[in-house]
Amino acid sequence: MISGSDTAHLPVKIIKGKADGPVFSIVAGIHGYEYPPVIAAQQMLSNIDPDKLKGTLLVVPVANTAAFFDRSVFYNPADGK
Protein backbone atom coordinates (compact mmCIF):
# COMPACT_ATOMS: atom_id res chain seq x y z
CA MET A 1 0.00 0.00 0.00
CA ILE A 2 1.46 3.36 -0.98
CA SER A 3 0.10 6.46 0.76
CA GLY A 4 -3.44 5.15 1.18
CA SER A 5 -3.54 3.20 -2.05
CA ASP A 6 -4.18 -0.53 -2.18
CA THR A 7 -1.88 -1.04 -5.15
CA ALA A 8 1.86 -0.85 -5.62
CA HIS A 9 3.93 -0.37 -8.74
CA LEU A 10 7.30 -1.93 -9.45
CA PRO A 11 9.38 -0.34 -12.20
CA VAL A 12 11.08 -2.97 -14.34
CA LYS A 13 13.16 -2.47 -17.47
CA ILE A 14 13.95 -5.48 -19.65
CA ILE A 15 16.55 -5.13 -22.38
CA LYS A 16 16.83 -8.06 -24.76
CA GLY A 17 20.15 -8.19 -26.51
CA LYS A 18 20.54 -8.79 -30.20
CA ALA A 19 22.26 -12.10 -29.51
CA ASP A 20 20.99 -14.91 -27.28
CA GLY A 21 22.69 -15.41 -23.95
CA PRO A 22 22.21 -15.46 -20.19
CA VAL A 23 19.78 -13.36 -18.19
CA PHE A 24 21.31 -10.94 -15.69
CA SER A 25 19.32 -9.03 -13.07
CA ILE A 26 20.13 -5.82 -11.22
CA VAL A 27 17.98 -4.70 -8.29
CA ALA A 28 18.40 -1.31 -6.62
CA GLY A 29 16.32 0.86 -4.33
CA ILE A 30 15.74 -1.77 -1.67
CA HIS A 31 16.19 0.74 1.15
CA GLY A 32 13.99 3.81 0.85
CA TYR A 33 16.60 6.46 1.53
CA GLU A 34 19.59 5.13 -0.41
CA TYR A 35 19.61 7.04 -3.67
CA PRO A 36 23.07 6.28 -5.19
CA PRO A 37 22.14 2.72 -6.34
CA VAL A 38 18.93 4.05 -7.93
CA ILE A 39 20.86 6.74 -9.79
CA ALA A 40 23.51 4.23 -10.85
CA ALA A 41 20.86 1.87 -12.25
CA GLN A 42 19.23 4.72 -14.18
CA GLN A 43 22.55 5.90 -15.61
CA MET A 44 23.52 2.36 -16.56
CA LEU A 45 20.22 1.90 -18.41
CA SER A 46 20.92 4.97 -20.53
CA ASN A 47 24.28 3.51 -21.57
CA ILE A 48 23.17 0.02 -22.62
CA ASP A 49 23.16 -0.68 -26.35
CA PRO A 50 20.92 -3.70 -27.07
CA ASP A 51 22.80 -4.29 -30.33
CA LYS A 52 25.97 -4.96 -28.32
CA LEU A 53 24.25 -6.97 -25.59
CA LYS A 54 24.40 -10.76 -25.52
CA GLY A 55 21.47 -12.07 -23.49
CA THR A 56 18.88 -10.22 -21.47
CA LEU A 57 19.25 -7.55 -18.81
CA LEU A 58 16.50 -7.21 -16.22
CA VAL A 59 16.73 -4.04 -14.11
CA VAL A 60 14.57 -3.01 -11.15
CA PRO A 61 15.79 0.52 -10.34
CA VAL A 62 13.50 0.96 -7.30
CA ALA A 63 12.49 -2.30 -5.62
CA ASN A 64 10.87 -0.76 -2.54
CA THR A 65 8.71 1.96 -4.08
CA ALA A 66 6.68 2.56 -0.91
CA ALA A 67 9.75 3.38 1.18
CA PHE A 68 11.38 5.30 -1.69
CA PHE A 69 8.45 7.66 -2.31
CA ASP A 70 7.74 8.12 1.41
CA ARG A 71 11.48 8.62 2.16
CA SER A 72 11.24 6.00 4.84
CA VAL A 73 14.51 4.85 6.38
CA PHE A 74 13.63 2.27 9.02
CA TYR A 75 10.26 0.82 8.04
CA ASN A 76 8.18 0.04 4.99
CA PRO A 77 5.13 2.32 4.83
CA ALA A 78 3.16 -0.42 3.06
CA ASP A 79 3.01 -2.63 6.15
CA GLY A 80 4.49 -0.49 8.94
CA LYS A 81 7.31 -2.97 9.56
Q: What are phi and psi of 75, to 5 degrees?
A: -150, 160
So what's the pLDDT on residue 33? 84
Record the pTM.
Answer: 0.79
Q: How far apart are CA 13 and CA 45, in angstroms?
A: 8
pLDDT in tens, 23-59: 999 999 988 888 999 999 999 999 999 999 999 999 9
More confident residue, 78 or 25: 25
Whether residue 66 contacts residue 1, with contact meaning beta carbons closer than 8 Å, is answered with yes
So what's the pLDDT on residue 4? 53
Query: What is the length of the chain?
Result: 81
Among candidates 50, 52, 62, which has minimal Cα distance to 15?
50
Q: What are phi and psi of 72, to 5 degrees?
A: -90, 130
So what's the pLDDT on residue 5? 58
